[in-house]
């Protein structure tokens, strides 16, 4: 019971202090809207709009979650407010989950902004919304834990932003979001397969275009494995750098 109360209070504190602030709400809407508008003006046709939708959704989640969590935890670490949380009567795993859950929710909300915009310009009746929901949730979880890993690996906010871009921009170009992996140079393809967003984007393509490069179960298992690996690596960094 005490763990649940602590989890809820940490989540609500983060929502009030970070996620529900007007700039963050507007940024969460403007960022995917700007991406969607840019590609829509370039494509000019509804058919091409739905083709780019998986990429826009994946990018909205990736940039929203990693930017928010990596900066907030780094800032709290610098101000030593995170150190006070480490003294709270809550297990470290639950503390990490409480700090991550707000970013996951933020990423999920970000994901559906492009769908709302696309609804006005193209036909979305062929989309499998069940798979969309699963893919959005798992991309949000994996991206959030990537942001968590970045946050606990650096000490300054500018380092977190730089480190985030080191992961994010290769994912945008190498994960099959806009350029099929089969069209990439052969020496770059192994790197594509080593990135979690490759499998999240494939799930979105499966839901929106009814086509994908990998089986549904394989995508799901790989995203789950990446999430667990990033979470455990983050926990190890906290124990090694911040506690012991």
User: Average pLDDT, stretch 186-211?
Assistant: 87
Domain tally, the chain: 1
DSSP 30: H
Is residue 44 packed enough to be buried (19+ CB in 10 Å), middle (13-18) or exposed (0-12)?
A: exposed
Residue 142 has pLDDT above 60, yes or no: yes
The pLDDT > 90 percentage for the chain reads 13
Average pLDDT over residues 148-170: 78
> d(Cα 3, Cα 97) in Å, to the nearest integer?
11
Distance CA 60, CA 11 (A): 22
222: which 2 tokens?
């790989």
Percent of the chain's residues with pLDDT above 70:
81
pLDDT tens for 33-77 read 676 666 666 655 555 667 778 888 888 888 888 877 777 777 777
Q: Residue 204 is part of which domain span? A: 2-243
User: Which segments of the chain are extended strands (E)?
Assistant: none
pLDDT digits (tens, 9 = 90+) for 171-184: 878 887 777 888 88
Q: Phi, psi (5° rounding) for residue 80?
A: 70, 15
Q: What secondary structure does DSSP assign to 150-203, as a single string?
A: HHTT-SSHHHHHHHHHHHHHHHHHHSSSSS-GGGS-GGGHHHHHT-HHHHHHHH
- Cα(51)–Cα(111) distance, integer angstroms: 16
Residue pointed to by tokens 């960094």: 237
Whether the pLDDT of residue 27 is over 80: the answer is no
Classify the phi-psi angles of 47: left when phi > 0, otherwise alpha if psi is within -120 to 50, otherwise beta: alpha
């Amino acid at each position: 019971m005490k763990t649940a109360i602590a989890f809820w209070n940490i989540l609500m504190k983060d929502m009030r202090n970070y996620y529900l602030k007007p700039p963050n709400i507007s940024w969460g809407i403007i960022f995917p809207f700007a991406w969607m508008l840019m590609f829509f003006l370039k494509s000019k046709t509804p058919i091409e709009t739905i083709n780019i939708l998986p990429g826009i959704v994946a990018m909205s989640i990736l940039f929203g979650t990693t930017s928010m969590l990596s900066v907030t935890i780094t800032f709290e670490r610098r101000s030593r407010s995170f150190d006070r949380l480490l003294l709270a009567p809550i297990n470290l795993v639950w503390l990490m989950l409480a700090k991550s859950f707000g970013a996951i929710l933020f990423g999920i909300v970000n994901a559906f902004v492009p769908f709302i915009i696309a609804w006005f310009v193209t036909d979305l009746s062929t989309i499998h919304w069940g798979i969309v929901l699963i893919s959005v949730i798992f991309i949000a979880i994996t991206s959030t834990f990537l942001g968590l890993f970045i946050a606990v690996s650096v000490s300054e906010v500018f380092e977190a932003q730089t480190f985030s871009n080191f992961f994010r921009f290769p994912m945008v170009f190498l994960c099959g979001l806009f350029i099929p992996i089969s069209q990439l140079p052969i020496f770059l393809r192994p790197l594509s397969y080593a990135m979690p967003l490759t499998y999240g984007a494939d799930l979105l393509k499966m839901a929106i275009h009814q086509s994908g490069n990998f089986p549904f179960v394989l995508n799901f298992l790989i995203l789950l494995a990446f999430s667990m690996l990033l979470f455990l690596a983050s926990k190890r960094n906290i124990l090694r750098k911040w506690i012991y």
